Structure 1
Amino acid sequence: MAFKVIKPGMLALLQDLGRHGHQAIGVTTGGPMDELAFRWANALLDNDDNAQQLEITFGMLSLEAQANTSVALTGADLDASLNGKSLTPWQTYAVKKGDVLSFQQPVWGLRAYLAVKGGFQCEPTLGSIATVMREKIGGLTGKGDKLHKDDILPFQAYDQHQQRSVPRAAIPDYSQSDIPLVLGYQYRSFSDLQRAHFFSSDYKVSQNSDRMGYRLEGNAIQGDAKGIISEGIAYGSVQIPKDGQPIVLLRDRQTIGGYPKMGCVTRFGGALLAQKKPGDAIQFTPITVDQAEHERHLQMARLQQWR
């Protein structure tokens, strides 16, 4: 009772909500790059919030079902199809034994999420199956491997499918280019002029971007501090290295760093950024902690009320 991998695609990784409580020993959290899409996929199937899913980056993946189940697709539109019939994301679908589920190149967005009823069933490492390739931890083998041809993704068979979809108002607009950012205490090491440049500039996503961090290209920002004592790195930290090109640190980030930081993008902002492709343009918008918390509570309340 599983999916068999026919084509592994560009990058397909098993994820849950992350490996927490181990950053003191240098182990990062991992987890879904688009947390909101991940949570909605589990909600559609009445799964536990932390049920294991597949994060599919850029598509080109094909899976063959070896048992009946229900699946949910959220996140980007990767031109998914079931036995050649086009599928719309942010909905559930019945899958029968022998069906082939395929993903092509992105129509919009970059990362899609595939959930099965009850979640995929893999053994956790340090309490989580979150795949972090850089640290060689998690995933199907426990060694941080991405999916390969002929891999088997086990799940519990399920026959009582329910057709569901996410309310339109809850589906994020991945074309949004404004990324919300909460200022950090080190923003004072940048002059008023440099801060104005930062928030008024367009930045393009670099080819050199991954789950560890998104490197941006645009107006170089220069700070007064030459460096700082290394400290813990929070999710979404926007580092300004010596070349002045911002780096937004995301799910697979290192646990400590020594570059000055302008602030942190929110979870929602990080999810929007994670759906951008190299060459896409973004801008940063400053918000307060209260505004960030309000947005987070609104999203979680909407999801829980729907459940």
Structure 2
Amino acid sequence: MAFKVIKPGLLALLQDLGRHGHQSIGLTTGGPMDEVAFRWANALLDNTPNAAQIEITFGMLSLEAQADTSIAITGADLGATLNGKSIMPWQTYPMRKGDLLAFHQPIWGLRAYLAVKGGFLCEPILGSVATVLREKIGGLTGKGDKLQKGDVLTYPTGLSHQQRSVPRRAIPNYGLKEIAVILGYQYQSFSPLERAHFFSSDYGISSNSDRMGYRLEGNAINSATKGIISEGIAYGAIQIPKDGQPIVLLRDRQTIGGYPKIGCVTRISGSILAQQKPGDVIQFTPITVDQAERERCLHMARLAQWR
């Protein structure tokens, strides 16, 4: 059966792990801003890692269950309630026909993930259901639309519920303000003084931030190279435009860009960054590729072992 959307909230999007292999034709990957939370939500329900979920930004979403199912909520605490009773993220809950699930405003974090047993059923476009508003692709309609009042999100029925929760040590610390950065190959175009400024400065999250990228406000960083030939953009790339204010490019980033890049945020730290709200303050810290790989392998091994 399905969930019926009673209130669509500010921004609720169907997402899977992304649309890969099409950047050569200008299509970005999309996918969950907080990949760690997304993967744990599917693990809690024994779903496949790529099963479609709803990414809920800021909250204000209400859904009515049309049939019994089991759900998992991870990511931010958006003050979720089930039939008016408060529930916490990072665990599973049974839902019965007629139950009302609502997300309110952030208590901590910014984005929550709602997974359903078996995953939401939606026709993929170019191999993915990931919603990218800017490119008008994916989602429930296939045209990149966010969820609307009256939308019906189907899911498999007749599946039993198991009460589960994510181990406390595996839950990310969204209060962590240090964002890990792998140095980029254009790092040398920044003077030692500019590099020191970058890694010792506080940066505020601009209100002009979205799924495409987080614009930062703080100490301006200058590069000896004012522009480069446009090239492919990796997830987490930190561009330094002419005004010197860094931009961290995320899931809905453009596929090419011509600004120098001082480094690249790791996927694990990218998940932490995606939970920061406008006005929150972060700092960058450098790590090696080996350190980033170990961090990623540890996370994936913990998931696999838990499954």
Work out whether residues 67 and 157 of structure 2, in 8 Å CA contact, stay in contact via their aligned partners in 1.
yes
How far residue 159 of structure 1 moved from its aligned partner, in angstroms, is 4.5
Contact between 2:80 and 2:86, CA under 8 Å: does it hold in 1? yes
Which 4+ stretches in 1 moved above 6 angstroms?
Answer: none
Is the Cα–Cα contact under 8 Å of residues 53 and 115 in structure 1 kept in the other structure?
yes
For residue 127 of structure 1, report the CA deviation from its aligned partner: 0.5
CA shift digits 1:34-87 (9 cap, x unpaired): 001000000000000000000000000000000000000000000001000111
Shift of 1:157: 1.4
Separation of aligned partners in 2, 1:127 and 1:107: 35
1:253 corresponding residue in structure 2? 253
Alpha-carbon distance between aligned partners in 1 of 2:158 and 2:278, rounded to the nearest angstrom: 39
8 Å Cα contact 1:70/1:158 also seen in 2: no
**Contact 1:180–1:285 (Cα < 8 Å) also in 2:** yes
Amino acid at match of 2:2: A
SS of structure 2 residue aligned to 1:295: helix
Q: In structure 2, the residue corresponding to 1:135 is in which secondary structure?
A: coil
Structure 2: how far apart are the matches of 1:37 and 1:178?
18
The one-letter amino acid of 1:286's match is P
Distance, in Å, in 2 between the alignment partners of 1:229 and 1:271 is 29
1:1-307 aligned at under 5 Å gives the runs 1-307=1-307
Q: Is the 8 A contact 1:117 1:158 kept in 2?
A: no
Matches of 1:74 and 1:244 in 2, distance apart? 35
Three-state SS of the structure 2 residue aligned to 1:269 is: helix
State the alpha-carbon separation in 1 of the partners of residues 171 and 157 from structure 2: 28
Per mean C-alpha deviation after superposition, the further-off stretch among 218-227 and 155-164 is: 155-164
Distance 1:246 1:49 in 2: 32
Q: Runs of 5+ in structure 1 lacking a partner?
A: none
Q: Distance in 2 between matches of 1:131 and 1:239?
A: 24
Unaligned runs of 5+ in 2: none
- The answer to whether the 8 A contact 1:44-1:164 is kept is yes
Structure 2 counterpart of 1:193, which letter? L
The aligned amino acid for 2:42 is: N
Question: Deviations along 1:191-250, whole A, 9 cap, x unmatched?
Answer: 000000000000000000000000000000011001000000000000000000000000
| Aligned residue type for 1:179 | I
Task: Give the counterpart letter for 2:172 in structure 1.
Answer: P
Percent identical pairs in the alignment equals: 78
Report the CA distance between 1:25 and its aligned residue: 0.3
Structure 2 CA distance, aligned partners of 1:205 and 1:147? 26
Letter in 2 for 1:211: R
Contact 2:117/2:159 (CA < 8 Å) preserved in 1? no
Deviation digits for residues 2-39 of structure 1 (CA, Å, limit 9, x no counterpart): 00000000100000000000000000000000001000
**How many angstroms does 1:158 deviate by?**
3.2
Q: Measure the CA separation in 2 of the matches of 1:24 and 1:158.
A: 41
Q: Please give the root-mean-square deviation of Cα atoms over the aligned residues, in Å.
A: 0.5
Deviations 1:121-141 (A, max 9, x none): 000000000000000000000
TM-score, normalised via structure 1 length: 1.00
Report the 3-state secondary structure (helix = DSSP H, G, I; strand = E; otherwise coil) of the residue aligned with 1:20. Answer: coil
Looking at structure 1, the residues matched to 158 and 217 of structure 2 have their Cα atoms a distance apart, in angstroms, of: 47
Q: Report the AA paired with residue 155 of structure 2.
A: F
